[in-house]
Amino acid sequence: MESRGIYMSTDRAKVKQYGDELLKRNRELTGVMERWKQTVRADDVEQFTAFKRRIDQFIEFRKELVRRAVDISPAAGREWGDNDANRAPRTQLSNDLEALARIYNERTVEAAALGDQGRICSRSDLAL
């Protein structure tokens, strides 16, 4: 939403307000990625590394968007960010997120099934 605010605003004060929020979200995203990196399984490292690279590009893109919109002009920010060339990496990032969500969802279902089996086994032992 902050990016959209930058694209739609012509008032520098408003653009700066959206830009400050966008940079705050960048810092939050960086923190999430660092915490996530610590939990990545060995068999996910390659996929996570590619995903993190795209996240880093996304963060850099947003930094540059704010810089251009604040330091040059709101129109320069809009020109930089609101175009097909910069939309493609964001689309790929969305695809990455969907793929990772599927993987983690499958693992959640598997873990729940194992938990159910464990409960069934432990009840069976008590009945004997």
Residue position matching structure tokens 């990016």 = 3
pLDDT at 128: 54
Residue with tokens 């968007």: 65
Q: 45-67 and 74-81 helices cross at what angle (nearest 10)? A: 150
pLDDT at 68: 96
Rounded to the nearest integer, the mean pLDDT of the chain is 88
How high is the pLDDT of residue 21?
96
- How do residues 59-105 score in pLDDT, each as one tens digit? 999 999 999 999 999 999 999 888 888 888 888 888 988 988 888 88
Contact criterion met (CB below 8 Å) for 78 and 6: yes
126 confidence band (pLDDT: 50, 70, 90): low
Torsion sign over Cα 85, 16, 68, 73:
positive
Query: Above pLDDT 70, what percent of the chain?
Result: 95
Predicted confidence at residue 117, as pLDDT, reads 78
Whole-angstrom distance, CA of residue 18 vs CA of residue 1: 9
Question: Phi first, then psi: what are they for 26, rounded to 5°?
Answer: -60, -45
C-alpha 52/C-alpha 33 separation (Å) is 7
